[in-house]
Structure 1
């Protein structure tokens, strides 16, 4: 069945346009509340958000929906996505909500949902929610005496700060390290610098002045240029770039070079292997992770299990097959010893601890393998299904045959934007560039013809 609202990471769209309207947000609250309102206990939901202007609007709409469904709403305010997942469990809530569009610009927003165990909801539950959203609300509302209450919860930042610090050994210290951190003017603008400072680092902070419209604007993990300059300017040992909801991280080394999630997972895997902590015989990543990572892990006697794009699919595979490390090239890194979803700050702490333990500069520590040439381009489309066109399918088949045994081709629609992503990788850079450019041109022509 076609999904009408949910993508790979919740519901997402342009603020104040379908589906990101107050009406739909309220309906989601009512529908989710109905599903999770079971048993005789007092039911509760925790609701966090990032720093987008539209967060005020959607937060109030969701509070209205959940309380109308009979759940008490615990309002957390701006806080990272992994903190919402953690607090859902810690506060014994029936469901958790994060209002965020992650790395997207401020004009977008989204709704991410967590079950009482802190994990994102299954496809089956999301389909149930979609069905209820479109039904008459009358049968989903609580009786007058069962309407929920709402209150803002104090001290949630302190809880997350302590949680993050406890992911390192009690005697761990970051003293002697100068750390530049870019909070993307997002959800971690208070907690991330606090964690680093309390662990002893000399902290240089940027992207910590959100105004509702500057989240991810020329900053954060998807735009690390400003952090690269800052690392040079202050002579930092390392730069840390989070995204708007702080569930992903990108590192900048002391030379100003960007280190992606594949290299970070390799560092953590090697460290945990040496400490006999790595489970599952390797790591879990998506089809987008570099072939160089796979070859590196093989050289260490480890495996790489690949999933569809989306950290929820990584987590599902980790849970099903007993892995404790997984993630995405984009910087979503899931450390299931510490949490149930990607956590940019906690992943960065693992890297910082390794820097302290080895004494190696970040430029050396975080270059575990030589990436295979990889090229990713996007084709925007407004409607139709270009990937089902016979011309496109034949071109893809020809490209796959040409790369057989020498590389990989991944073509997929984005789960969060109206884009088709075309990625190829292999040892011959010129061949990869030619294949990607040819496919992008063919898809674009088919899209234009259908418009």
Structure 2
């Protein structure tokens, strides 16, 4: 990770860690970099945060000052920006969003010409420019100054693309959607209604400050209750920029990214569409997923945490499906990034085609108890490498043996250390998580 860019772009509290000046400089560098030998074309989307408009204007100012033409998708999802880049011959895509974070945070995600997260070396150059380590870039003059173009039609094309993907309709299926008062509010309902589902939508009235607030994939309990109370067949919850999806079956059970990968991976295998007979996961996936995949004769690969690493592995090996427990799922046949709405369509197709409930399809995977605690620290590297913390982690790993595991890692987007334990019982999980967190507290590493 760089100074400003983490695993999911440049993220921080608006006007604190992420400022308008930062956004302007990102725009200046991106516009210059892609416009060195031709007129650069950049497409921008944003989520519903109040500060997204502020950063959009700052990015546009920087981009056009460097000579780039900028196409505005307005409020839309991250995967729709990726789709536009891939299909409309853009040099680069920019999404303004902090994903599942609170409304007062925001972020700048950069996508390359393939619609994937931009290369680390370009992020490093942008950081150097922000810090004044690169000489000032030339300003465009006269007719070379860039312009902005309304590109709402690009979002409509993306909606049409989503509708075209399922091979069957969802007639008479009662579907609940939690749009997190975010980007999917403008898209998801239209897609499901076009596919003839009986669609019930909650949290689709964004006001700039209610994105992710007690709703969406990070507050799945809201959708659980809604699905059960209204007798729905299935439900899907998205995050702020709709690049992730968590499902709920008709009984209110949570179907997280691991179970979605199992259900969809098995379905793809049955259809002869699981390239390499492999599902790509991160180190955070549950042991139960691996055992279920092995039972079904499927292989798996593990990457570092972050859907960008999953995407890199999938691209290098031409794999069909991969993702994270958090609900970032990539279907490489249709998209270059995680796409929450697409994920929900693929789950729906598996259920409709197999004439089965999501509950029945997902119950074949046994989930091992898992406890994850996010610990806020002053310095992530110092906390993770503290000798006594390392000793506590090694002791827990030795005690768990082959019947469990412990994983301690730095958050890519927040000042957090994530301590995760899987074991045969919840009690053991809590015991070994506590054994590490208690040491961090005794060492004075925890803040807040």
TM-score class normalised by the smaller sequence = over 0.9
Query: Within the alignment, does 1:381 sit opposite 2:380 as a pair?
Result: no
CA-CA distance at 1:36 after TM superposition: 1.5
- The residue aligned with 2:363 is 367
Q: 1: CA distance between counterparts of 2:186 and 2:446?
A: 49
CA distance 1:310–1:450, shift in 2 (3 Å)? closer
- The residue aligned with 2:327 is 331
CA distance 1:321–1:278, shift in 2 (3 Å)? same
- The residue aligned with 1:262 is 258
Contact 2:170 2:348 in 1 (8 A): yes
Instruction: Name the SS for the 1:110 alignment partner.
Output: strand
CA distance 1:280–1:142, shift in 2 (3 Å)? farther
**Counterpart among 159, 162, 165 of residue 164 in structure 1:** 162
Contact 1:31 1:140 in 2 (8 A): no
Query: Within the alignment, does 1:228 sit opposite 2:198 as a pair?
Result: no
CA distance 1:380–1:203, shift in 2 (3 Å)? same
Q: 2: CA distance between counterparts of 1:376 and 1:153?
A: 41
Show structure 1 runs of 5+ residues with no match: none
Tell me the C-alpha RMSD between the 2 structures.
1.6
Instruction: Name the SS for the 2:37 alignment partner.
Output: coil
CA-CA distance at 1:365 after TM superposition: 1.8
- The residue aligned with 2:347 is 351
Contact 1:379 1:444 in 2 (8 A): no
Query: Within the alignment, does 1:274 sit opposite 2:273 as a pair?
Result: no
Instruction: Name the SS for the 1:280 alignment partner.
Output: helix
Pairs within 5 Å for 1:151-190: 151-169=149-167, 172-190=168-186
- The residue aligned with 1:78 is 75
Q: 2: CA distance between counterparts of 1:140 and 1:17?
A: 28
- The residue aligned with 1:203 is 199
- The residue aligned with 2:6 is 7
CA distance 1:450–1:362, shift in 2 (3 Å)? closer
Contact 2:378 2:446 in 1 (8 A): no
- Alignment deviations for residues 242-288 of structure 1 (CA, whole Å, 9 cap, x no partner): 11000000011111121101000000111000010001221111110
Instruction: Name the SS for the 1:329 alignment partner.
Output: coil
Q: 2: CA distance between counterparts of 1:71 and 1:450?
A: 43
Pairs within 5 Å for 1:70-219: 70-135=67-132, 138-169=136-167, 172-219=168-215
- The residue aligned with 1:430 is 427
User: What TM-score comes out, normalization by structure 1 length?
Assistant: 0.96
Instruction: Name the SS for the 1:255 alignment partner.
Output: coil
Aligned length: 446
Contact 2:29 2:137 in 1 (8 A): no
- The residue aligned with 1:37 is 35
Contact 1:232 1:254 in 2 (8 A): yes
- Alignment deviations for residues 309-349 of structure 1 (CA, whole Å, 9 cap, x no partner): 10000000111122110000000000010000000111111
Contact 2:178 2:203 in 1 (8 A): yes
CA-CA distance at 1:137 after TM superposition: 6.3
Q: 1: CA distance between counterparts of 2:417 and 2:138?
A: 37
CA distance 1:122–1:447, shift in 2 (3 Å)? farther
Query: Within the alignment, does 1:55 sit opposite 2:40 as a pair?
Result: no
CA-CA distance at 1:125 after TM superposition: 1.9
Pairs within 5 Å for 1:382-401: 382-383=378-379, 385-401=382-398
- The residue aligned with 1:25 is 23
Q: 2: CA distance between counterparts of 1:225 and 1:106?
A: 20
CA-CA distance at 1:447 after TM superposition: 3.2
**Counterpart among 436, 442, 445 of residue 442 in structure 2:** 445
Q: 2: CA distance between counterparts of 1:140 and 1:296?
A: 56
Contact 2:173 2:198 in 1 (8 A): yes
User: What TM-score comes out, normalization by structure 2 length?
Assistant: 0.96
Instruction: Name the SS for the 1:139 alignment partner.
Output: coil
Q: 2: CA distance between counterparts of 1:63 and 1:447?
A: 44
